Amino acid sequence: MTNPALRTEPMQIIQDHMLVERDGRLAILDTGVPESMDCPELVSEVLGVKVARLIGCAELAGSALTIDWPERRIVNGATPLSDAVLVPLSRAAFGIPLIPVDTPLGRVDAILDTGAALSYAPPDAVRGLDRVRETDDFLPGFGSFTVDVYRLEVSVGGMPLKVEFGVMPPLLRMALSLLCPGGWIMGSALFRDRVVTLDLGRLEIHLGRVVTSGAVVVSPGWLPEPCASWGGCQSHVHPEWVFTSLGELPGGQDHRAFLTYISILYAALPVMYEETVSFFKQYLPVVDGEEVWRHCTSELPFSVKAQHSGASGTIASATASNSSTDPDSGPVK
């Protein structure tokens, strides 16, 4: 029986910001602000969509909120997953939540900011590390700025995480010293590809394990080095591994992703096309993602057209019998 107290809302992910639509207007889930407020115009300019509100801590504390990143939804009033890890929270100035994070510098209390697409660490935490990339970020009231980004291994509630952290410019770090004296901010990376229940009223967060959804599954504990070193999202595989795995039996070896349900390949191609183009646009803009897609589809390990005739064996025959669409006429250009 459905619990009538539960309320499910669709969620959009735009540049790692979590948004819901209420009363026909988009709003960002933002534990980085004490009270809900009108969204500064800068946010809409950066995200490319009109965002009306920032939903702050006071409003979010009204009930437990389960944020289901893989399914792109939030559930108000839901109970945590049975295997989720409970992590107690505390409060910083103005009621902003703090979360304990084990870092190379020891345990710290980091600002838990669901409205931050990028997490932040103090300069001492990244000293001696190689910079992963440089990126632009923004903060309402401070405008846009450029930061160096590094990758750190941290853990929350005993759960290991590989997170990209930016280092704030000195003036911005000084300006935020009252709110964030240690310089640590944990952003939306904590929620990425997880089911997380945030209960600000009880000062608790319940972290689910990473959920792998869709056609491509990554072998447990493995992240392809190209994806890591090129600044990928760390939760999906680099397009190279997807294309080299097409047509392999489930359980592919040698650090390759594999298709658990190859019969949905045809339905997945449009999404693969969009993510491939998006990957290069965001992380390697000097490379034409459209051209990469054309090269990839011309060098598939097997012909998608041949699958329809059953020429590629058992998997191909099963795929052909379960699909009436021709991906060659879809996004492949």
**45-65: per-residue pLDDT in tens?**
888 899 999 999 999 999 999
The pLDDT of residue 267: 56
The pLDDT of residue 3: 52
- Give the percent of the chain with pLDDT over 90: 41
pLDDT along the chain (333 residues), means of 10: 68 92 93 92 90 94 92 89 92 90 94 94 93 86 86 93 90 76 90 93 92 42 37 45 48 39 54 81 79 72 41 36 39 43
The answer, as to whether pTM is greater than 0.75, is no
The pLDDT of residue 299: 58
Domains of the chain in sequence order? 7-210 (2.40.70.10), 216-329 (no CATH)
Q: Enumerate residues 6+ apart whose C-beta is below 8 A from 291.
A: none
Provide the mean pLDDT of the chain. Answer: 75
